[in-house]
Every structure is written in C-alpha cells, then in structure tokens.
Amino acid sequence: MVTGAARGIGARIAVELALSGAHVTALDARDPAETVAEITEAGGTAAGLWVDVTDRAAVAAAMATAGPRLDALVTCAAIYGSTASLASLPESEVDDVLGVNVKGTLWCIDGALPFLRGHDSRVVCIGSVAGKVGGVLAGPHYVASKGAVHAIVKWLAKTEAANGVLANAVAPGVVDTEMVRGKGYSADYNPLGRLARPEEIARVAAFLASPAASYVTGAVVDVNGGYAMG
C-alpha cells in the first residue's frame, strides 16, 4: 500500500515495489490511474484507490481492501503549503498541512496496522530533511509536520516491534517533483550539485519496505546528497 502514489516520489515507489514483485495498491486524493497503468504495462499488478488521507473512515476502508495481510505500508501523501512567514500564515493553512501530513499519516497507520501485525511487515514514512534541519525554504507548518512524521516512526518502531512491524522514515533532500517546482530551490547548495530524482528516493524506500531490511527499525534515513549529515 503506497499513499500519495498518483505522481512524484510515491508513484516511483509504487513502481519500484511492483517491479520487485509486490502487488501494489496506489492510494491518492487524485486519480492514481496513470501509476496503475505504468505498473500493469510493465508486467506488474496494481490497484488504484482514490482516497483522501484526511478522511479516517475512508482510509480505514481502503486499508481493509488490502487485507487480510499487508506486507508494507508506505506513506507519501503530503502537501507543502506556502512559504509565508508565521505572522502571515492563515490558521486554515496550518490545519491543512498538519491535517494531511500528520493526521493523514496517523490514519493510514491506524487503518493498516490490523493487517500488518502478526507477520514480518514494514511501515515506511516519507519525512524530509526539513523535519531535521528546520527546512531549506519550507514554511514552519511543513517543517513541523515532517518532524512529527519522524517522531511517529520512532513511536511506531517501539510500540509495534513485538507484533512484527518494523517502521522507518526516509528523509529526502530537495527532489525534483511538482511539490517544489517554482518554489525557488536551486541545486547550488548541494554537494552533489543537483536535486534528487524521485527514483533515487524510491529505491531507498523500497529497500526499507522489503524483507531485506530485517533489522532496521526506528531509523530516519537521509537521502539528501550530502546536504545535511547526521
């Protein structure tokens, strides 16, 4: 189960997992049909679900379609919000960003856990370098939401290890997707001299979602081209 899988990093994760043999459910608030088509045309199997992660009941129903056994949940759905100063940030926008990025992540985990427990399974949440170093250009609500995602993963790793659920986050640097295009990001700051490509985040997420990551839990894995270390 991959959320935010209609485009960007989530779409690349869905394809990466499908090509490694997983049956993928691509969930998104926009139509995930393109991702499903890409997977099936490449010989994989996938289903699409058009669901808003802020709708707890709809998320629970969506997760149930993946039951009775779910091997991995990858949470990618998120919004960025504006880069306005805190003083000019509307409360509604803070609610929206925290609603999708934090509560949406919690609802997905809540809905998926019954189907993840009792066998070797994975949760991978896409966090951000913004949640570790206070952002590059991002606003305070987005930065707070990604720090929260990292904390949720650590909570989950502790509380669900006994049930066989391993939980990790990936903290990407700036990735060339719709989310950040036109927001003023340049590659100049990065030791590798370029932004990340979505598939470079997807490969790390797919490893963490795989049986191979059998002794990794509670980690926040940097994939930022050396922008921030440690």
Ligand X SMILES: NC(=O)c1ccc[n+]([C@@H]2O[C@H](COP(=O)([O-])OP(=O)(O)OC[C@H]3O[C@@H](n4cnc5c(N)ncnc54)[C@H](O)[C@@H]3O)[C@@H](O)[C@H]2O)c1
Q: Are 196 and 12 in contact (CB under 8 A)?
A: no
Nearer to ligand X among residue 19 and residue 79 (C-beta):
79
Nearer to ligand X among residue 117 and residue 228 (C-beta):
228
C-alpha closest to that of 125 among 161, 73, 177: 73
Task: Report, in Å, the least distance between residue 215 CB and ligand X.
Answer: 25
Residue with nearest beta carbon to ligand X: 8
Q: Which tokens sit at 223?
A: 């994939």
Q: Which tokens sit at 174?
A: 């700036």
Segment (H or E) for 172: strand 165-172
Candidates 23-31, 86-94, 154-162, 210-218; binding stretch for ligand X (CB under 6 A): 23-31
Nearer to ligand X among residue 111 and residue 172 (C-beta):
172
User: Is 175 among the residues that bind ligand X (CB under 6 A)?
Assistant: yes
Hey, which residues between 89 and 118 contact ligand X (CB under 6 A)?
A: 100, 104
Q: Are 27 and 77 in contact (CB under 8 A)?
A: yes
Residues with active-site annotation = 142
User: Is 54 among the residues that bind ligand X (CB under 6 A)?
Assistant: yes
Q: Which tokens sit at 40?
A: 């099936």
User: Is 82 among the residues that bind ligand X (CB under 6 A)?
Assistant: no
Task: Name the one residue in this structure whose structure tokens are 């896409």.
Answer: 126
Q: Which tokens sit at 16?
A: 């990466």
Nearer to ligand X among residue 77 and residue 157 (C-beta):
77
User: Is 7 among the residues that bind ligand X (CB under 6 A)?
Assistant: yes
Task: Identify the three-state secondary structure at position 218.
Answer: coil
> In one letter, which amino acid is 221?
V
Q: In angstroms, what is the C-alpha Rg of the chain?
A: 16
Interface residue with ligand X, options 108, 172, 204, 209 (CB under 6 A): 172
Candidates 61-69, 115-123, 173-181, 210-218; binding stretch for ligand X (CB under 6 A): 173-181
Instruction: Report H helices in 84-139.
Output: 91-98, 104-116, 130-133
* Binding site residues, ligand X, CB under 6 A: 3-4, 6-10, 28-30, 52-54, 76-79, 100, 104, 126, 128, 172, 174-175, 177-180
